[in-house]
Amino acid sequence: MIEFRDVHKSFGKLEVLKGINFRVEKGQVVTLIGPSGSGKSTILRCINLLEQPTSGQVFIEGTDITAPKVDIQSIRKDIGMVFQHFNLFPHMTVMENMTYAPIRVNKVAKDAAKAKAMELLALVGLTEKADAYPNKLSGGQKQRIAIARALAMEPKIMLFDEPTSALDPEMVKEVLEVIKGLAHTGITMALVTHEMGFAREVSDRICFIDDGQILEDTTPDLFFANPKTDRAKAFLEKVL
């Protein structure tokens, strides 16, 4: 579903990704963990080309999206992304946030888009907020809407970039519950998170990233019980 081949990314002189190779199979849930600045968010952002790799290739369902002349838009519409800071459109109601892209990009009929949005609002438990503007919502509610907005495009892949890092502690759980509900429903998921318990519970695989490289790529049980590298051990000692 997703494949990286020797992906490098530099910002100016700073090399953030130093040759990333990894695969995510269809329906899998893969969590990237590692210290801040390790490059895990950059990996995620290379999947929908919010960052363009400096070299190397990224394949989505067999298509090399780093090749020239690739229609990035048509690839992005099948990859949902949830951001740390929600990024809801503040001038649109919840309903407008959720139906704009389906109508505009996927050419879904207005009524169908609305019906789908209501379904997803029910899924995230916020049906009563359909006509509210984002600034009337709490952080946790905003993030649940952001997840629903991404799902409204019926993506094959969902990317979560530290979805709970900007939330007050009491709102973390409601967002994690929604994400957990999506895992293993057939949608392919890549997450960056600092919630270790959650990562262990929900992931099929854990990739430990440090200094722009994947140091470990294994199952959650093996990784948390028995990390192979010293750096992963040191990291886990600090966070657990």
Partner 1 sequence: MDLNFSSVWQYWPFLYNGALLTLKMTAICAVLGFALGVLLSLIKLSKFRPLVWFGQFYTSIFRGTPLLVQLCIVHFGLPQLLGMPLSTTQSGILTFSLNSAAYISEIFRGGIQAIDKGQYEAAMSLGIGYRDMMKDIIIPQAVKHILPSLVNEMIALLKESSILSYIGAVELLRAADQITVMTYRFFEPYLVVAVIYYVMVMILSLFAAKLERWVNRSDRVS
**Using CB under 8 A as the criterion, which residues of the chain lie in contact with partner 1 when the complex forms?**
48, 50, 73-74, 76-81, 83, 85, 87-93, 100-101, 104-106, 133-136, 146, 149-150, 153, 159
Of 154 and 204, nearer to partner 1 (C-beta) is: 154
What are the backbone dihedrals phi and psi of residue 152, each rounded to the nearest 5 degrees, phi first? -60, -25
Closest separation in Å from C-beta 111 to partner 1: 20
Helices (H), the chain: 40-47, 72-76, 94-104, 110-123, 139-151, 169-182, 196-202, 220-225, 230-239
Q: Which of 36, 135 has the CB closer to partner 1?
A: 135
CB nearer to partner 1: give 146 or 206. Answer: 146
Please classify residue 122 by burial: count the beta carbons closer than 10 Å to its beta carbon, then call 0-12 exposed, 13-18 middle and 19+ buried: exposed
In this structure, the strands spanning 29-33 and 188-192 are parallel
Distance in Å, CB of 104 to partner 1, minimum: 6
Specify the amino acid at residue 194: H
DSSP 211-234: TTEEEEEE-HHHHHH---SHHHHH
* Cα dihedral 178→180→181→183 (10° resolution): 130
Q: Residue 211 and residue 226: Cα distance in Å, rounded?
A: 21
Asked if 34 and 208 count as a contact pair (C-beta separation under 8 A), the reply is: yes
For the bound state, the minimum distance from the C-beta of residue 40 to partner 1, rounded and expressed in Å, comes to 17
The least distance separating partner 1 from the CB of residue 231, rounded to whole angstroms, comes to 30
Q: CB of residue 238 vs partner 1: minimum separation in angstroms? A: 29
Choice between 55 and 138, CB closer to partner 1: 138
CB of 132 to partner 1, least distance (A): 10
Q: What angle do CA 106, 146, 204 make, to 5 degrees?
A: 95
Pick 101 or 236: Cβ nearer partner 1? 101
The DSSP line for 182-215 is: HTTSS-EEEEE-S-HHHHHHH-SEEEEEETTEEE
Q: In the complex with partner 1, which residue's Cβ is closer, 92 or 236?
A: 92
State the nearest-atom distance from the C-beta of 232 to partner 1, in Å.
30
Query: Are 31 and 160 in contact, with CB atoms under 8 Å apart?
Result: no
